[in-house]
Structure 1
Amino acid sequence: MTTLTAQIVTPEDQRYRLLRSTYTTVGKPAAVILPRDTAEVVAALRYAREQGLPLSVRSGGHGLSGRSTNNGGVVIDLSAMNKVEVLDRQARLVRVEAGARWAQVAQALAPHGLAISSGDHGNVGVGGLATGGGVGWLVRHYGLTIDHIRAADVVLADGTVVRADPSLLWLIRGAGAGAGIVVAFEIEAIELRDVGYAQIAVQLDRDGDALRQWADYMATAPRELSTAVTLMPYGSSPAASITAVVADDSERRIRAAIEPLLGLGNGVLDSHAQIVPYPALVSTAHLHPNIGQQPNTTTNGLLTTMTATDAAAIAAMANGPVLVQMRSLGGAVNDVPASETAYAHRHQGTLVIASVFPPRRAERLDKAWRELAGRVDGAYVNFESRPDADAFTRIYPGETGDRVSRLWKQYDPEGIFSPMWTP
C-alpha cells in the first residue's frame, strides 16, 4: 500500500476537516483516500476490504442520504479524478471522470459549444448524479443525464476493472450506487451555447389551483422549456419562485415559452429574464467544500398528472414547516422506454420534493407528506435521504426492482456498496 501513502488522509491530517463530511452529513471516517487514477481506486478498495472497514464512495458529496461518508470506515473520494475530454466533436461524445463537478464539466465543454444537462447546482459531483438519473435545467429538452451515457469504466467489488457490458450499463443508469465504483463515463452532449433564463415569483391561491395550471401548461409546453418551482409561505397563501430555462437563444421563442407562466396564480410579485451562457446555470462560483453545512431530511414522489386534490395537498404542505420544490419532467424523459434503464419512471410529468431542516425532525416531514404519499407514483433516488427497503420499492418498482436487486447481487455479492438498500 505504499503507492497510496500520500493519498490516505487520516484525522491528524490538515486536509481531513474539509474531506470528512458531505453537504448534508458530518462524518468521522477512519480514513479518506484520494486516488488519482483507476489503479489507485483498485488499491483503495483493496485497502478498505483488507481492513474490514465500512466503505463509502464519493464523487461530489452533495447526496442527500449522506452515504458518501461514514463513521469509522473508509471513504474513497474521487475528486482528484476530474478530467473532462471531448473524444469526438462530430459525434459530441465526451469522456468525464466521476470525480468532476458539473460546474467543471460545463466550463470545459463551453468552448466546444456543447453541454450536458446535469443537476441544478455546479457543486454536484458527476458520479453520484450520473448513476442515479440527472434531472437538470435542460431535462425536458435533453432528458435525464443517464439517457445519454454511452459507456462507462467500472471497478467492481472484487477489484476487477471492466468496460460496462450491456447488463452493467443498464444498472449503472439509475441504480449505479450498488454496482461498483464508476470511474469514468462517456456521455453524448448536445449542441448548446446560450439559453433563456427567467426568475418569476407569483402569489398562489390557497387551494393550489395555480400549481395545477403550472403542471397542465408544462405538459404541453415546448420541450425547450424546463422549470423548477420552490414554494414558500407568503402571507395567507404560499408564493412560488419559478426558475425557467429555455434551451434556445431566440428572444422571441424564449418569450413565447415563458409568457404563460406570468399568468399563474393571483399576480406576479417579481420577474426578470435574460439570455445567458449555459455554464452560468451551474457556475464555478458554486464550488465549495462540503462540511455538513446543510443537514436535512428529504423525500419525494412523482405525479403523472396533477389533480386538484394533489395540488391542494402540495399547497397545504407548503404552508407548514416543509420546504416544497417541484421539477417539470415529461418531454425527452418520457421518450425512453421504461425498461431501457434502471430509472423506470417514464410516464410521469412532475417531481415533488419535500424537505425539513433541523431542529425539525423526520416525523414532521412524514406527517406533512402523508396525504401526498398515497397519491404519488414512484420516486427518484437522488432526492431521497433515507435509502431503506421502503424507498427501494418506490424508486425501483416491480420488474425493475427485481432486476436491480438481482444485478446488485451479481456484481457485488457481498453487498459492500449497498448495505442500506437490501430490499
Structure 2
Amino acid sequence: MNPELRAPAELSGKLITPDDTRYGEYRSTYTTVGSPAVVAVPVTTSDVATALLMARERGLPLAVRSGGHGLAGSGTNHGGLVIDLRRLNKVTVLDRRKRLVRVEAGARWAQVAEALSPHGLAISSGDHGNVGVGGLATGGGVGWLVRYFGLTVDRVRAVDVVLTDGSVVRADAFNEPDLLWVMRGAGAGAGVAVAFEFEAIELRNVGYAQLIARVDPAGQVLQRLDAALKDAPRELTTALMLSSQGSVTSAFITAVVATDNEQVIRRAIEPLLGIGDVALQQAVIAPYTSLVPRQHMHSNVGQMRSSSTNGLITDITPAAAHAIVGVASGPAPVLIQIRSLGGAVTDTDPADTAFPHRHQRSLVIASSFPPYDHEALGKAWEPVAEHTEGAYVNFESNPTKSAFDQTYPGTVGSRVTELWKRYDPEGILRPGA
C-alpha cells in the first residue's frame, strides 16, 4: 500500500488498493470503469466515519457506492477514495404492526424483498434486484410500485447519516428535519446515508405482464399508452423499452399491477391491448420477489459501459412522441426507456422532499454505449429535451450545472445548495464544489 494511503487502525483489513486481488471486483460500477487509489469497505458506521475523515484529511476525491448498479457512474472515481457500503446490508423489521423496517444502505433490493417477503411486506423500490438501497433511497426511487405506493423517498421516515466531519446524525421529522428533507432526493451531496427507516407496505403477490407493440414513426402508440395510463388504476405501473431493427421499431412493455386480485389485474392490463398492434406475451400472478430476484445480484465490473441522460414529461404530445421515436430509431445507437409516474407520486407535496417533480407522468431515459460518449448522447437527445420539464438525478451520468437545474429547479435548487453547504461545507461529497 502507498505509504500516503496507510490505513487508520480502525480500517485495517478494510481497504482495497490496486495491488489487491479483490480490486477488480471493487473498482467499478455496472456502467463505469474506475481506477480509485483505494476502496474502503466498512463494516460499521464508525468505519464509514473513519473513511470519510481519511478522504478529507488526505485531500482524496471521494465517491460513495451503496453496492448496486450505479447507472449514473458516480459510485467510482479515478485516483480517489471510494466508500463501498456493500457489507452494511442488514434488513430488520422493527415493528410489524406499524410496518416499520430498518434497512442498511449497502443492501440491494433483492435482499430487501427476500427479507421482507415472509412478513408479507415490501418497499417501493427500483426495478432490478441489483440496485443498491442507498443510492435509490437518497435520489428518488422509481420502480415497479411507484404509481400505487409512491417513490422510495416518500416512504423514508428516518435516515442515519455520517457527515463529512465524522459525526453521526439521525434525521427524522423531529431531529434534523432539514437533513431529512435533503436526504430524500438530494442526499448524495449532504452526507453518507448508512441506514434508513421505511414505512413498508402490505404486499406479497403482484400481477405481471409482458407485451410487445409495433411503434409507428409518429409515435401514436406512445400517445395511446400515455392516455391509457392517465385513466388506469393506480395499481398499474409500466416500463417500456424501444428497440429498432431496420425500419421496424418495437416497444417492449412490462406491466406490474400491485395486487393479486385478478379482476383488478385484468382491468388494468386490458386497455394496454388497445393501444395499437400489441401482442400479450405473458401474464401471471407472481411474488414481488420474482421481480427483483437474488439472481440479479451480479458483480459490477463496468460490464455495461454507457452514458445516460433523462427528462420528465407531463403529457406525451404528438411532437414529443415523434421526437422520442426519432431518437430511438435514428442513426445514433440510443436506447430509450419510458417509466410511468403519476398516481401516488402526486400525493406528496412537491415541497416535502428534495424530489419536487410530482405532476409529471413519464420519465424518459436515454442511454448510449461506446464508442458513443455523453457528448454524442446529448446531441441525439436534443429533440426530446425540448419536451421535458425536470430530470431525475439517478439517470444522469454528466452532472453539469444545467443538469442540476433540471433536477432541482428554482427554490428547490437553492435550498439543496444551501443545505449541501451547511452539512458539507468543504464540498467533499461534491467534486469540483
Q: TM-score, normalised by structure 1?
A: 0.97
Per-residue CA deviations over 1:229-249 (Å, capped at 9, x if unaligned) read 001114534110000000010
Are the aligned partners of 1:203 and 1:269 in contact in 2 as well (CA < 8 Å)?
A: no
Letter in 2 for 1:374: E
1:411 aligns with 2:423: yes
1:271-286 matches, cutoff 5 A: 271-286=281-296
1:35 aligns with 2:42: yes
1:395 aligns with 2:402: no
Per-residue CA deviations over 1:214-237 (Å, capped at 9, x if unaligned) read 011111100000000001114534
Question: What runs of 5+ residues in structure 1 fail to find an aligned partner?
Answer: none
1:294-309 matches, cutoff 5 A: 294-309=304-319
1:21-420 matches, cutoff 5 A: 21-164=28-171, 165-265=176-276, 267-320=277-330, 321-419=333-431
Q: Give 1:11's match in structure 2, choosing from 18, 29, 33.
A: 18
In structure 2, what is the Cα distance between the partners aligned to 1:315 and 1:57? Answer: 35
SS of the residue corresponding to residue 309 of structure 2 reads strand
Structure 1 residue 383: Cα displacement: 0.8
In structure 2, what is the Cα distance between the partners aligned to 1:232 and 1:240? Answer: 6
In structure 2, what is the Cα distance between the partners aligned to 1:139 and 1:193? Answer: 16
Per-residue CA deviations over 1:46-93 (Å, capped at 9, x if unaligned) read 222222211111102422232211111111111110000000000000
Are the aligned partners of 2:122 and 2:200 in contact in 1 as well (CA < 8 Å)?
A: yes
Letter in 2 for 1:319: S
Decide which moves more: 366-375 or 152-161.
366-375
In structure 1, what is the Cα distance between the partners aligned to 2:49 and 2:375? Answer: 40
In structure 1, what is the Cα distance between the partners aligned to 2:182 and 2:43? Answer: 25
Letter in 2 for 1:246: V
Q: How many percent identity over aligned positions? A: 61
2:4 matched to which residue of 1?
A: none
Tell me: CA distance 1:363–1:52, structure 2 relative to 1, closer, same or farther (3 Å).
Answer: closer
Decide which moves more: 84-93 or 364-373.
364-373
CA RMSD, 1 decimal:
1.1
In structure 2, what is the Cα distance between the partners aligned to 1:32 and 1:98? Answer: 17
Per-residue CA deviations over 1:283-340 (Å, capped at 9, x if unaligned) read 1000011101111111111111111111111111111221110011000001111100
In structure 2, what is the Cα distance between the partners aligned to 1:23 and 1:66? Answer: 8
In structure 2, what is the Cα distance between the partners aligned to 1:67 and 1:322? Answer: 21
SS of the residue corresponding to residue 82 of structure 1 reads coil
SS of the residue corresponding to residue 253 of structure 1 reads helix
In structure 2, what is the Cα distance between the partners aligned to 1:358 and 1:57? Answer: 25
Letter in 2 for 1:254: I
In structure 2, what is the Cα distance between the partners aligned to 1:237 and 1:57? Answer: 41
In structure 1, what is the Cα distance between the partners aligned to 2:379 and 2:27? Answer: 32
In structure 1, what is the Cα distance between the partners aligned to 2:36 and 2:312? Answer: 35
Question: What runs of 5+ residues in structure 2 fail to find an aligned partner?
Answer: 1-7
Letter in 1 for 2:416: V
Are the aligned partners of 1:61 and 1:68 in contact in 2 as well (CA < 8 Å)?
A: no
In structure 2, what is the Cα distance between the partners aligned to 1:251 and 1:68? Answer: 41
Are the aligned partners of 2:61 and 2:431 in contact in 1 as well (CA < 8 Å)?
A: no
In structure 1, what is the Cα distance between the partners aligned to 2:247 and 2:29? Answer: 36
Are the aligned partners of 2:237 and 2:257 in contact in 1 as well (CA < 8 Å)?
A: yes
SS of the residue corresponding to residue 375 of structure 1 reads coil
SS of the residue corresponding to residue 291 of structure 2 reads helix
Structure 1 residue 17: Cα displacement: 1.2
Are the aligned partners of 1:177 and 1:417 in contact in 2 as well (CA < 8 Å)?
A: yes
SS of the residue corresponding to residue 222 of structure 2 reads helix
Are the aligned partners of 2:214 and 2:249 in contact in 1 as well (CA < 8 Å)?
A: yes
Q: TM-score, normalised by structure 2?
A: 0.95
